[in-house]
Amino acid sequence: MRFVFVAISILFISSCAKQGEPQVQLAARAFDKKLSLEELMRAIPNDASEEDSIRLAETFINNWMREQVVLTYAERNLTEEQKIFEKQIEDYRKSLLIYAYENQLINQKLDTLISDEEIESYYNANADNFQLRDYIVRVKFAVVDAGIPKMKKFRKAFLADEPSSLSELDELCQEYKAACFSEDSIWLYFNDLLKDIPMEVYDTESFLKKNKNIEFEGENRVYFLTIKDYKLKDNVSPLSFERDNIKSIILNIRKVELLTKMRNDIFNDAIQKKDVEIMVL
């Protein structure tokens, strides 16, 4: 990579500081700030190609100069009082230290195993908090090219519920490269379903109540849909739909409890060891 700086030598200047001091090669200058060639070279990978090295060097220098210009104008235009950031910097450092320590404690001691019983118990105790924001459905659907030679067989396999028919449907879907979804135990948002099944639905509630098996053709494809179950918007969301959400809630509760206990324990320990004391009361 280092030979490439001959190609961008127009960007470099040399300066001698005081007499007797070694010459410092510079890559750029912005007001009284200077970017050394050595600093620039450290920013570019040694295994970069000549073309990439030139591009990276130009980008780095340009970004550095722009930053220095903004910093210089900030220095010139802010009052001395506005430029005092020691407290903010120290507060930020404290926050980073505490966050790193607490994150380490969570990684080491947080119990992440959550049983089905615990999930169900939390759901039953807080069911009113799980209101559906939209309609959800449990469905089976398939999308296949129109005119396939085994369309009647495909339709029969789709409409049947026996395990053997589901296996046959999977084989037919593979044979004709059809899109199939047969995991009818999974709840989906109805609007997400419409991204795969392009139906025009104007009254969702009425549609769900009146339809179960649907078949229609469009753009040389045949769409099959069976609605196994549905839940209306603003009703209580089913447990299976909220399982992952409840896991996250329980984990967050455990984190808060763990950190609260840690803070209390180490504070009480510091009091017992007389590492802390009140001096003014």
Q: Which two tokens stand for residue 173?
A: 């879907």
Q: Which two tokens stand for residue 207?
A: 């549609």
The pTM of the full predicted model, rounded to 2 decimals, is 0.65
pLDDT by residue for the chain (281 residues), tens only, comes to 443 444 444 444 444 444 555 567 888 888 888 899 889 999 898 888 888 888 999 999 999 999 999 988 888 888 888 888 888 898 999 999 999 999 999 999 999 999 999 999 999 999 889 999 899 999 999 999 998 888 999 999 899 877 777 788 888 999 888 999 888 889 999 999 998 888 888 999 999 999 999 999 988 899 999 999 999 988 999 999 999 999 999 999 999 999 999 999 998 998 898 888 777 76
Residues 140 and 219 in one domain: yes
CA distance 132 to 222: 31
The answer to whether residue 263 sits within a structural domain is: yes
How far, in whole angstroms, is CA 50 from its chain's centroid?
A: 36
Residues 58 and 19 in one domain: yes
Residues 24 and 50 in one domain: yes
CATH number for the domain including 156? 3.10.50
The answer to whether residue 92 sits within a structural domain is: no
Strands 179-181 and 33-36: unpaired
Residues 226 and 147 in one domain: yes
CA distance 200 to 140: 18
Residues 221 and 255 in one domain: no
Q: Which two tokens stand for residue 270?
A: 């510091």
Q: What is the count of structural domains for the chain? A: 3
Residues 220 and 243 in one domain: no
Residues 160 and 211 in one domain: yes
Domain that holds residue 199: 132-231
